Amino acid sequence: MKLTSRSVSLVPIVATASAAALGAVLVVSAPASAATTLGAAAAQSGRYFGTAVAAGKLNDQTYVNILNTEFNMVTAENEMKWDATEPNRGQFTYSGGDRVLNQAVSNGKRVRGHALLWHQQEPGWAQRMEGSDLRQAMMNHVTQVATHYKGKIYAWDVVNEAFADGGSGGRRDSNLQRTGNDWIEAAFRAARAADPAAKLCYNDYNTDSINPKSTGIYNMVRDFKSRGVPIDCVGFQAHLTNTAPSDYQANLQRFANLGVEVQITELDISGSNQANAYGAVTRACMAVRACAGITVWGIRDTDSWRTGQNPLLFTGSGAKKAAYNSVLDALNAGGTGPTTTTTTTSNDPGPGGCTASVSLNQWDGGFVATVKVTAGSRALNGWRVTTTLSNGTVTSSWSSNRSGTSGTVTFTNVDYNGAVPAGQSTEFGFQGTGSGSGLNPTCAAT
């Protein structure tokens, strides 16, 4: 973010290059030394670094020392789930959740709420319900729990793991889903009404690359955004083995381009390449401006739900692992993110016309372009944007129909974003390999 908060090694290089380019002498004040804890390192770029906490471990001194030193965000591992908070219908118990929350808050940490509705860890009484009776109980649960924690939660996982694995890209079957496809948006609306200050997230796993499941969620978020359903963030659990997918960053970025925050919510990585993979995930978050922070799913290897896999940052005795150092270095390397440039070109800007501007997010070997189409002084019924892609190839696009992958690439509106009121805008995007530079978009009304 600021020169003074970047790692020591980067600053002289930047200063030398700029001085040479300007032909002038620049005096750069000595940078602050790199942060020495995960939370402080993440905070340099306005991000958080969190962990899942189990209430039952809060009298383990080693555990609490690491928690208090290293982390500035906390998620209750189980204590705010439905079975824990409403063991009998209409009878709420918050002792475990409050314990985790109070320990965090009294040590200056923020709290992610997890999770209001999930098909697992439903209390027995809810497991036996269906239909409108269940729907009523679900919404009451959301309202009651979000109201109890009102004003104290940074972000809620409102709905957890509602999409199916595999290639369908559709919803997972559950008694929650069988109450009607609109259960997710109903839950988000109820949560917003109960606690307007909390960010509201959808959270899931196996969403770490661009795949049918993540695309199904992507389409839901895009639909929610277009209809004003209150969703602020998407959680990527990131239970990984040995590596981060090569399109990890691109996948986060495409969600960010929908206008939601992205959060890595339950990170743990097993395998011999663990340290590298932790570094890659952290760098991906740092390179996506809308990536608000990272939470690991437990502190020491012995605290992990993945028994025997040692997927966390500290050993069972509380020593820092190589993976810890990779994460800390990546956080300290700075959070300025990729180069983002915005260029505006217009075509036919008079009545009935439109302008297009592109915001380009570039990283090594790839880019995401977000194109804004703005109507002139008359409303649009449809639009066409023409770009020149001489430095790259489109691999995917969204919120538009596309013709071509390189050279002249043309995008037209889809059914839900062709109508743009006078002076208003709509956005679409595409992603590709190469630099994406020089797109020079022009817009025409159709």
**Minimum CB distance to ligand G2I, residue 244 (Å):** 18
Is position 102 an interface residue for ligand G2I (rule: CB under 6 A)? no
- Residue 35, Cβ density class (10 Å: 0-12 exposed, 13-18 middle, ≥19 buried): middle
Tell me whether residue 312 or residue 371 sits nearer to ligand G2I (CB atom). 312
Tell me whether residue 103 or residue 435 sits nearer to ligand G2I (CB atom). 103
Is there a catalytic annotation at residue 130? Answer: no
The token pair that represents 173 in the structure block:
């079957």
Mark residues 283-322: x for contact with ligand G2I by CB under 6 A, - for none: ----------------------x-----------------
Active-site entry in 86, 185, 266, 427: 266
Cβ atoms of residues 182 and 190 within 8 Å: no
Tell me whether residue 297 or residue 383 sits nearer to ligand G2I (CB atom). 297
Question: Hey, what amino acid is at 322?
Answer: A
The token pair that represents 316 in the structure block:
């069972």
**Minimum CB distance to ligand G2I, residue 121 (Å):** 5
Is position 400 an interface residue for ligand G2I (rule: CB under 6 A)? no
Near ligand G2I in 190-249, by CB under 6 A? 205, 237
Contacting residues for 385 by C-beta, under 8 A, at least 6 apart: 356, 371, 373, 400, 410, 411, 412, 428, 441, 442, 443, 444
Residues 294 and 313: their CA atoms lie apart, in Å, by 13
Is position 78 an interface residue for ligand G2I (rule: CB under 6 A)? yes
Cβ atoms of residues 353 and 443 within 8 Å: yes
Contacting residues for 179 by C-beta, under 8 A, at least 6 apart: 130, 131, 132, 134, 135, 138
Is position 93 an interface residue for ligand G2I (rule: CB under 6 A)? no
Residue showing the smallest CB distance to ligand G2I in the complex: 305
**Minimum CB distance to ligand G2I, residue 266 (Å):** 5
Residues 138 and 82: their CA atoms lie apart, in Å, by 9
The residues facing 200 across adjacent strands are: 156
Measured CA to CA in angstroms, residue 273 lies from 277, 286, 311, 323 at distances of 6, 20, 11, 9
Tell me whether residue 48 or residue 205 sits nearer to ligand G2I (CB atom). 205
Tell me whether residue 211 or residue 347 sits nearer to ligand G2I (CB atom). 211
Is position 121 an interface residue for ligand G2I (rule: CB under 6 A)? yes
Query: How many residues at the interface with ligand G2I, by CB under 6 A?
Result: 9
Among 120, 168, 242, 341, binds ligand G2I (CB under 6 A): 120
What DSSP character marks residue 314? B
Tell me whether residue 234 or residue 409 sits nearer to ligand G2I (CB atom). 234
**Minimum CB distance to ligand G2I, residue 252 (Å):** 18
Name the pairing type of β-strands 366-375 and 354-363: antiparallel
The token pair that represents 389 in the structure block:
């892609």
Name the pairing type of β-strands 383-389 and 407-412: antiparallel
Cβ atoms of residues 216 and 255 within 8 Å: no
**Minimum CB distance to ligand G2I, residue 292 (Å):** 18
Among 5, 63, 77, 262, binds ligand G2I (CB under 6 A): 77
**Minimum CB distance to ligand G2I, residue 185 (Å):** 21
**Minimum CB distance to ligand G2I, residue 184 (Å):** 16
Tell me whether residue 121 or residue 215 sits nearer to ligand G2I (CB atom). 121
Near ligand G2I in 133-162, by CB under 6 A? 160
Cβ atoms of residues 285 and 42 within 8 Å: no
Catalytic residues: 266
Interface residues toward ligand G2I, by CB under 6 A: 77-78, 120-121, 160, 205, 237, 266, 305
